[in-house]
């Protein structure tokens, strides 16, 4: 097949779950198919474009400045979020340059399949969205609704509710226009049916690189920081920030009643000033920022936590922790859509008290920790390799060609 793949970003450095999922699938598709990849170029990350040949036959970088939180343009973007009918999370990605480039490629070449990766570049596909497979890593509307539910004050709640309504309108439009929608879990697929009235939604499971994450005696021998508990996730994503606040404020104090010196590692890129300050207040909490490799932090931890209260899609970090042999304690939302079983291969807990109790049992009971980790590792090894996941996605593309 000849594929046109449109996304907002290149895939290196690979620091987010959506990047990991796309990269692992594209690397395998690239072995068998011709991939033309269109994405915004970040000049501060030259590695992105330079390494695009690892997963694509041709790359088409689009110059487009997306303001970060420290730039004046970001304040304007927030104001636009109040005034524009387009949700702020989407208007920042609207680009005439990308729209023109995609249209040019479609005029010049024939593609067997078109993939819109996340809804954010959907505007740039124009009418071609009707020929594309829309790969939805999250139900974006639900993320904003959950932000509103967990907002700390009325002003934030109003803003998040406003964005949720606008996201619903745009996400519904794009999902209904697309040739086909792919979700990353049965839970998400059902949400697309219920929210947007879609009749047919395919599901592609989350995968994990088993060999890469598996620990061994040799790779456990290095001297590294060791924490009782680790959280792994990009710290510039609001659901992860909320999860860390929730854990540090409401769960960790309960754990420390029994284990006063319990140490916590927050492993993820770009922690905000607020997150850094939370770490400074507690000498046994470490925010690492970007790390070259998350695996050592998983291998050396007693458990991995996913205390998410907001989110959608599926959490790659859970399967990665399981493949690394690290037991996982998660909220129900954190594990939403994953084929896991509470008490068998994961611990699920939604209140601060129950979450703390699950952490305490695993920290203090090596036998139970080993049993849970072993069952989880067996689960991902037998069912969730990237090869199997990619094969399923490949068949979906064959079943829903771009047409003329």
Report the 3 state secondary structure along 172-223.
Answer: HHHHHHCCEEEECCHHHHHHHHHHHCCCCEEECCCCECHHHHCCCCCCCCCC
The CA distances from residue 185 to 335, 337, 387, 392, in Å, are 11, 5, 17, 13
In a domain, 346, yes or no: yes
Place of tokens 């997963």: 55
- Same domain? 191 vs 224: no
Least confident interval from 64-78, 97-111, 126-140: 64-78
Confidence band (pLDDT; 50, 70, 90) for 382?
confident
Confidence band (pLDDT; 50, 70, 90) for 221?
very low
- Same domain? 214 vs 141: no
Confidence band (pLDDT; 50, 70, 90) for 327?
very high
- Same domain? 54 vs 124: yes
Q: How many domains does the chain have?
A: 2
Cβ atoms of residues 40 and 59 within 8 Å = no
Confidence band (pLDDT; 50, 70, 90) for 404?
low
Least confident interval from 98-112, 115-129, 305-319: 305-319
User: Given a cut of 70, is residue 220 above it in pLDDT?
Assistant: no
- Same domain? 25 vs 162: yes
CA 238 to chain centre: 12
In a domain, 260, yes or no: yes
Q: What is the pLDDT of residues 201-213, one digit of tens each?
A: 999 988 999 999 9
Q: What is the pLDDT of residues 64-86, one digit of tens each?
A: 876 665 555 566 666 666 677 89
In a domain, 404, yes or no: no
In a domain, 281, yes or no: yes
Look over the chain and give the mean of its residue pLDDT values, rounded to a whole number.
92
- Same domain? 199 vs 326: no
- Same domain? 148 vs 215: no
d(CA 334, CA 320): 14
- Same domain? 283 vs 226: yes
Q: What is the pLDDT of residues 12-31, one digit of tens each?
A: 999 888 999 999 999 999 99
Q: Is the pTM of this model over 0.85?
A: no
Closest CA to 235 of 280, 279, 271, 287: 271
Residue 34, phi then psi, degrees to nearest 5 = -95, 115
Strands 229-232 and 264-267: parallel
- Same domain? 327 vs 392: no
Q: Which distant-in-sequence residues (6+ apart) come within 8 Å of 238 by Cβ?
A: 147, 310
Least confident interval from 2-6, 72-76, 244-248, 365-369: 72-76
- Same domain? 181 vs 260: no
- Same domain? 181 vs 234: no
We report the CATH number of the domain holding residue 129 as: 3.40.50.2000
Cβ atoms of residues 140 and 64 within 8 Å = no
- Same domain? 300 vs 358: yes
- Same domain? 117 vs 179: yes
Cβ atoms of residues 131 and 102 within 8 Å = no
d(CA 369, CA 57): 45
Domain that holds residue 139: 2-207+386-399
Confidence band (pLDDT; 50, 70, 90) for 385?
confident
In a domain, 282, yes or no: yes
In a domain, 142, yes or no: yes
Q: What is the pLDDT of residues 252-275, one digit of tens each?
A: 999 999 999 999 999 998 898 888
């Amino acid at each position: 097949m000849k594929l046109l793949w449109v996304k907002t970003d290149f895939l290196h450095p690979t620091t987010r779950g959506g990047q990991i999922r796309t990269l692992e699938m594209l690397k395998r598709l690239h072995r068998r198919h011709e991939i033309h990849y269109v994405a915004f170029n970040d000049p501060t990350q030259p590695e992105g474009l330079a390494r695009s040949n690892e997963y694509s036959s041709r790359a088409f970088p689009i110059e487009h400045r997306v303001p970060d939180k420290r730039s004046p343009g970001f304040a304007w973007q927030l104001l636009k979020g109040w005034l524009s009918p387009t949700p702020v999370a989407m208007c920042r990605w609207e680009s005439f340059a990308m729209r023109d480039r995609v249209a040019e490629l479609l005029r010049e070449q024939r593609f067997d399949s078109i993939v819109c990766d996340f809804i954010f570049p959907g505007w740039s596909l124009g009418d071609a969205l009707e020929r594309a497979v829309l790969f939805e890593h999250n139900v974006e509307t639900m993320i904003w609704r959950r932000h509103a539910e967990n907002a700390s004050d009325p002003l934030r709640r109003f803003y998040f509710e406003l964005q949720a309504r606008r996201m619903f309108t745009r996400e519904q439009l794009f999902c209904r226009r697309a040739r086909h929608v792919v979700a990353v879990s049965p839970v998400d697929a059902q949400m697309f049916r219920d929210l947007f009235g879609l009749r047919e939604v395919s599901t592609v499971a989350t995968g994990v690189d088993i060999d890469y994450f598996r620990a061994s005696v040799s790779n456990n021998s290095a001297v590294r920081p060791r924490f009782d508990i680790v959280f792994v996730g990009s710290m510039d994503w609001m659901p992860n920030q909320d999860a860390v606040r929730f854990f540090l404020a409401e769960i960790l104090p309960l754990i420390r009643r029994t284990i006063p010196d319990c140490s916590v590692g927050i492993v993820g890129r770009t922690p905000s000033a607020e997150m850094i300050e939370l770490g400074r207040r507690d000498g046994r909490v470490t925010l690492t920022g970007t790390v070259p490799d998350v695996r050592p932090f998983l291998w050396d931890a007693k458990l991995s936590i996913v205390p998410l209260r907001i989110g959608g899609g599926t959490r790659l970090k859970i399967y990665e922790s399981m493949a690394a042999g690290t037991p996982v304690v998660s909220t129900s939302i954190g594990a939403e859509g994953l084929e896991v079983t509470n008490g068998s291969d994961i611990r699920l807990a939604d209140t601060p008290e129950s979450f703390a109790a699950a952490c305490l049992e695993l920290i203090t009971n090596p036998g139970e920790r080993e049993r849970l980790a072993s069952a989880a590792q067996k689960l991902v090894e037998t069912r969730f390799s990237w090869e199997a996941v990619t094969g399923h996605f490949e068949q979906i593309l064959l079943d829903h060609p771009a047409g003329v």
